[in-house]
Amino acid sequence: MELKLKNVCKKYDDKDILIDINAHIKDRSAIAIIGPSGAGKSTLLRLLSLIETPDCGRICVNDNHLSEISPEEYYKKIGFVFQTHTLFPHLTVLRNITLILEKVHNKTVVEAKKIALDLLEHFELTEHIHKRAGQLSGGQSQRVSIVRSLAISPEVLFLDEPTSSLDPVLTQEVLKTIIKLKLDNMNFVIVTHEILFAKKAADYIIFMEEGRIVEMGDVSILDDPKTWELKQFLSNVFLW
């Protein structure tokens, strides 16, 4: 994945939320964004996924120059997984996945079913395909959400704290699924508070605080942070 951010800024109600964000990250498949609450992590992810547009600067994700591409075109190439799942509760797991393939991506019923079944099997969800999404556990729902976002064969997947609403056991279930994405060489950008997990699943770390990128680099920065801010953040995270 290639990620280019040049002088990116974002304001909400005249308040600076992202300030002069610059990064040029090449040849990394998985990027984790970490940092304290309110740092602007989700905002940055929303800009990268064109849910929102920056007030200044330029963004490029792989070969997509986001100021020159329509959101509709871009949404067909990316996947997004939110903090809580967004499945249709009254539809089955299978239908939750085939629906978007048929209606948005113009796949035939047969093609859509094959894609969905293959992915559900790959992520060990076959036993749940006929359950309604509303009957799944939180962890299963998030795993199905990940599978649904993968069904369109996205160029890149954005995940915003996909485990934040889950207990520790279900969290591990979902994190295992994300490790599998890494093994499959999927390009993804994940916002996470799970630092040990970030170390394992990502190959590049962006640490943000108060709207700025304070430190970034390969995962070794988590063992050997250069800035006082990242040192402080990590010591707070690992307090207990």
Ligand X SMILES: Nc1ncnc2c1ncn2[C@@H]1O[C@H](COP(=O)(O)OP(=O)(O)OP(=O)(O)O)[C@@H](O)[C@H]1O
Interface with ligand X (CB under 6 A): 12-13, 17, 35, 37-43
User: Which phi and psi (to 5°) does residue 229 adopt?
Assistant: -65, -45
d(CA 39, CA 191): 11
User: Helix count (H) and strand count (E) of the chain?
Assistant: 8, 10
- Select 101 or 202, whichever has its Cβ closest to Mg ion: 202
Residue with smallest beta-carbon separation from Mg ion: 42
Min dist CB 46 to ligand X, Å, is 8
- Select 42 or 140, whichever has its Cβ closest to Mg ion: 42
* 85-122 per-residue burial string, b: 16 or more CB within 10 A, e: under 16: bebeeeebbbbbbbebbbeeeebeeeebbebbbebbee
d(CA 149, CA 157): 7
- The first and second tokens of residue 237, run together, are 């995270």
- Select 204 or 207, whichever has its Cβ closest to ligand X: 207
171 lies in the site for Mg ion, by CB under 5 A: no
42 lies in the site for Mg ion, by CB under 5 A: yes
| Piece of the chain touching Mg ion by CB under 5 A; list 21-29, 42-50, 86-94, 168-176 | 42-50
Residue 38 site contact among Mg ion, ligand X, none (CB < 5 to 8 Å, cut-off depends on kind):
ligand X
Interacting residues toward Mg ion by CB under 5 A: 42
